[in-house]
Amino acid sequence: MFGINNGSIESSTGEMAYVAFGKGKEALFIIPGLSDGIQTVKNKGLLLSWYYKVYAEHYRVYVISRLRPTPQGYTTKDMAKDIIYAMDKLDKNAASIVGFSMGGMIAQYVAIDYPERVKKLVIGISISKPNETLKKVVGKWIRYAIEDDYGALTLDTMEKTFTQKHLRKYRPFYPIIKRMGKPLSLVSFIVQANACIEHNSYGELSKIKAPTLIIGGDEDYVVGPNTSEEMADMIRDSKLILLKGLGHGAYEEDKKFNERVLKFLLKED
């Protein structure tokens, strides 16, 4: 339907799974969040092309996973370098970059370190420097992962991500949800979660030159309060959208979330 391709990009230390779809000529790279540490995008082309279908009419979309095996000490800055490596292998000199949650952290460094490669930048439900909320929440997830308590990790992630209204739909299914999709190993998740806690691009955000949209909820219990506003203050001429009453799950709970992002991407400068 959208020219779906499930592929992988090999490097000297491993490989990055990706999916590509869409009818457009311009490239759009989407960087997923910390859930990538649980499952990569491998063979999820059909699912992701449906979820991101609003972009497919206008762009050739690439959703890129992190390197596997995931090396110890792997930082968001390293991950940004790998996105550029993927762009090179896919023969894309420049693209619009969209990152959600941890993907937004990586996207920041793509725009900071490789400004000539970024046409437009979207940072969604993300953060630019550590705070107590992030360290407490993600630190708890790391402990669950170390203990191999996938059920507790999954349910706590949901409780911190979504609003009470949304959670009421899911809670009856928790006994099933906490058993679904458990990976063979949580090592990649632990490495990526530590990279989240250590991420600090705040002092370099002023280097971002690409037109930038920052979008998030005003009641985010994962990254904490005011994180979107902090980034908007540091990135010159950036656009800020705060979604009232929503949190880290704004991408799912706000039915117009992707449309808001697309409107920014398509707007003439």
Tens of pLDDT, residues 27-68 = 999 999 999 999 999 999 999 999 999 999 999 999 999 999
Is the pLDDT confidence value at 269 over 70? no
Which pLDDT score, from 0 to 100, does residue 182 have? 87
Query: Beta partners for 97?
Result: 29, 121
Residue 215 lies in domain:
5-129+199-266
Confidence category of residue 119, pLDDT binned at 50, 70, 90: very high
* Domain assignment present for 256: yes
Domain count within the chain: 1
Q: Which amino acid is at 115?
A: P
* Domain assignment present for 161: no
CATH number of the domain that residue 248 is part of: 3.40.50.1820
Close Cβ partners of 169 (under 8 Å, ≥ 6 residues apart): none
* Domain assignment present for 165: no
* Domain assignment present for 183: no
